[in-house]
Amino acid sequence: MKNLSRFTVLIGIFSFSLIQYCSLASVVSTGDFNKDFFVSWSPSHVNTSADGGTRSLKLDKDSGSGFASNDMFLFGQFDMKIKLIPDNSAGAVVAFYLTSGQPNRDEVDFEFLGNVPGQPYILQTNVYVDGYDGREQRIKLWFDPTKDFHTYSVLWNLYQIVFMVDWVPIRTYRNHAEKGVAFPRFQPMSLQISIWDGSDWATNGGKDKIDWSKAPYIASFKNHKIDACIWKGNPRICRANSPTNWWNNERLNSLTWTQRRLFRWVRKYHLIYDYCMDNQRFQNNLPKECLLTKY
């Protein structure tokens, strides 16, 4: 209980600081799914509220579904409130991610791997650079993400990528390009959301598959916020350290003291897989970034 109280205080301090700083930013999203996104997959399986403020995606035996941002971006912060599929969602993957959409794509992934009732929900993150991935990490969420909406965020700037859940940093991927580590910094990316059948691998390594008798499977989304540099063809504009590009400010070149404590808490109590700890997979030759600082 004492640890939980400390955790709550840390969240409060961090959230207040974040709100103060982000109030200086210019928000490029309207909060309306119909204006900020287009339906990229199976319109009949996408349902949007009359005011455009909430949207749901459906997966059934016929099809999954998805939507994508109208614009592409180079650096920024991307937030989405998501309520995941209730009850038995084994095999059903919900993805919230940035992608450049090319064969040699850059990509930054949140993937929710479906769930068996009574088990903690597993969230996988991954980073692609120039078409190469294999940088998976998985955590068990410390709450039930099917009961209410929670905020999932990506901060992507010149210095680092930070994955956040309700403003708690669960993972970082730093820009160590000067040390020979690939980092997504050249290709603009769009924000995409989808739901699909991942029975062959997602839940318990593919042992727990979709039960189509319980379909349709529905995930819900609201209160999206995209605060990022819209790609206009000139990378210098997006790499500039300016009041508009607040995410490139040197204050955000690493995690704050409070964020570091939360980050360590996640890794100590909730991390269940990290490619940087998988010596067997890499035959004791871990990727270079695994040996470098995380913040």
Catalytic residue positions, numbered: 107, 111
- HEC profile for 159-183? CEEEEEECCEEEEEEECCHHHCCCC
* Four-residue CA torsion sign, 216, 71, 103, 97: negative
> What would the DSSP string read from start to end of the chain?
-HHHHHHHHHHHHHHHHHHHHHTTSPP---S-HHHHEEEEE-GGGEEE-TTSSEEEEEE-SS--EEEEESS-EEEEEEEEEEEPPPS--TTEEEEEEEE--STT--EEEEEE----TTSPPEEEEEEEBTTB----EEEE-SS-TTTS-EEEEEEE-SSEEEEEETTEEEEEEE--GGGT---S-SS-BEEEEEEEE-TTTSGGGGTS---GGGPPEEEEEEEEEEEEEE--S-HHHHHS--STTGGGSGGGSS--HHHHHHHHHHHHHTEEEEGGG-TTTTTT---GGGGS---
Listed in sequence order, the residues at least 6 apart from 257 whose beta carbon sits closer than 8 Å to its beta carbon are none
The tokens of 260 are what? 């570091």
Of the candidates 80, 77, 78, the one whose C-alpha atom is nearest the C-alpha of residue 57 is 80
